[in-house]
Each structure stands twice: as C-alpha cells, then as structure tokens.
Amino acid sequence: MESELTAPHHSALLELPGRRHHGSLLGRATAQLSELYAELTSYGWRLVPRPGADHQRASTLLTSDVNTLAEIRGERAEQGGTPGPLRLEMLGPVSLATQLHLPNGEKVLIDHGARRDLAESLAAGAAEHIQHALRSVRPPELTVTMLEPDYQRVRTGSVPTVSGYQTIRSLPRDETRQLLGTFITALRSAGAENIILDLGRPAEAEHIEDFRGWGGPTVDGFALPLHRVKATDWERTAGLVESDAQILADLLHPREPHDALPEVSQLAARIAEPWQKLGMPASSLFAVTITAHGARHRLQPAQLSEAAAMRTLTRLRDTAEALTDLAA
C-alpha cells in the first residue's frame, strides 16, 4: 500500500479484521481510553475497574501497528519514495457509547455521567495516540477521520437497549455537540491538522451548523457517501466547499463488485458531472479526497483477495489523479 500511496495521496494505519476484536476499530478505541478499561464478554466490550488481558492485547496491537507503519514508511523514504500525508480513523465518542457496555451490561449510552466520562477519557487517549503517531511516523500532515456511524440513531432515539425490547432515549443536540466538541478539541491540541466527520450519511443542515457554523470546536469537513447523495446533498456540499470545507467522498457503491469496477473516467464522472451541473469551478475539486467506502461499509475491501484489493486501490488512485488533472 505504501508503494501505491506516495505523496500527495494519504496512507493510513490499516485495520486488519482478521485479528478480530482486539484489532478492530472498537478494539482500538478501547485501547485508547485513558484511565478507563474494557474487557471482552459474550455481548461485546464492557468497562471494568482495572486493566486485564484484553486491554493489554488491544493496546499492544495498536502500539505495534503505529511502529510498524513508521518502519515501512522509513524504508520507503530510504529507497527514494516520498511518503504521503497520514490519515487516522477513530471511532467518535457518541458511537462508542452505543457499542461499549457498562459493568452491569447495559450500554454506556444510557447513562449521562458515563457518557461524559467516556468522551473525556477517549479524548485524552486519542490525543496520546496522535502524538505517538506524529513522533513515530513523522507524516508531513495528519488528518483524522472521526467515524460516527451511529450519531443519527442516537439523535433520533433509535438505539436499542441490550434486551432489544426498548430503545434508548434520544440525546439532546446540545449534549451530542458537546461530546464531539470535547473530542475535536483534544485532536486539534494533539496536532491533527485536519478533522473530517463521517456520519455514514450526507451531512445535514443541523450537522453543518453544529460542527462548522457555531462558535465551538469545528471540523474541517464531512464525508460524502456518493451512493446516498441526492440533489440537495450536492447543493449543501457545494456550499461547504465554498466555505473552505474539505470533502471525503466515498466513491464506490457497497454492492458494487470489486472485480468489475467501472473505468477511471466513469468513476471520476460520479463527482465531476454533478459538480459541473451545479456550476462549480473545476478548481474546487481540489477540496475533494476520495476513498472506497466510508463509516458504514469501510470493511468491505478487507473481504477481497490481496490482488483484488490492490486493483481497487490502484483504480481509486488513478481516479483521484484524473480528478486532479481536471481541477488543474
């Protein structure tokens, strides 16, 4: 991957689903918690009073992954390559509260004090993780994609309790904004130059107002899953770009076969054609970064063979370069 994604393309701290729970996005989030600890149970991760084997394994894997990436990029640089910017994916505090359990088995989301403590713990631990990555990997630029696939379910009260017989009351807008604000502030202070919010859906007016338009902590842009975009979403996206926001476009449809992907020109047209219809200048495409899948379908490439995954990566890289040529 590093050989394919040299500057200006972004490389990543890859997640390997084959290592299962301890190396997953959720496992990494539990490893980042500061002064809070979690263990695996039959129903998932739950908070416990003291660190155990599960915490140690998740923490060791995360530290090792950062160090391995640093070694690979260092070797690449010695061979004359130019390592690109680094993008880290992190589970945000609201979605983490839907997936992590209290010691009694219920979800953290159900308890106001636990939600606050979790957000503060995650923020502190994520800051340490970023600082480790900056010291070890030394990227020319670091971007964090904050994954919040459950954010809208939390806002609408659609998250089920552990029993499944009821749903957890929706969180007020002020609280979710505060929880994410705590996290964003910590990422910024730790050295993240760019923060992109991936909600698993196009950003709506509320999200833009809360995380771009108010006086508190703000993100630099939003993810845009193209398979869910409507005309109003394109208009909203154009407005974001005109306000100097960045867009992370999820280019592929989740049911699209990776062994028969469209040609580069067709993939580029998924972004360029709506852009042109809105009357946006081609140069504004510089605000768009593309990826295969966003928060909801991000592990699909992991199901591919190595050869298929590299073909997909190459197709995406070539599409990004085609869009860059169009914008120039």
Token pair recorded at residue 81: 């390559």
Distance of CA 245 to the CA centre of its chain: 16
**SS3 helix, strand, coil % of the chain, rounded to 5?**
50, 15, 35
What gap in Å lies between CA 191 and CA 186, rounded to an integer?
A: 9
CA distance 282 to 287: 10
pLDDT at 3: 46
Q: What is the rounded distance in angstroms from the CA atom of residue 39 to the CA atom of residue 150?
A: 22
**Which DSSP symbol is given to 83?**
B
pLDDT recorded at residue 298? 79
Dihedral of the alpha carbons of 91, 299, 101, 87, in degrees to the nearest 10: -20
Report helix, strand or coil for 200: coil
35: tokens are: 């002064």
- CB atoms under 10 Å from CB of 70, counted, come to 17
**DSSP string for 262-314:** PPHHHHHHHHHHHHHHTT--GGGGGGEEEES--TTTTTGGGGS-HHHHHHHHH
Question: Counting Cβ atoms within 10 Å, is residue 313 exposed (0-12), middle (13-18) or buried (19+)?
Answer: middle
Within its chain, how far is the Cα of 116 from the centroid? 21
| Tally of CB atoms within 10 A around 255 | 8
pLDDT at 13: 87
Per-block average pLDDT, block size 10, for the chain (328 residues)? Answer: 62 80 94 96 95 96 94 82 88 98 97 97 98 94 97 97 93 97 97 97 96 89 96 96 96 85 95 95 95 83 78 91 93
CA-based nearest residue to 166, from 106, 97, 94, 124 = 106
Whole-number pLDDT of residue 19: 81
32 contacts 125 by C-beta, under 8 angstroms:
yes
DSSP helix/strand/coil, 150? coil
**What is the rounded distance in angstroms from the CA atom of residue 273 to the CA atom of residue 282?**
10
pLDDT at 1: 46
Q: Which residues contact 167 (CB under 8 A, 6 or more apart)?
A: 157, 158, 159, 160, 161
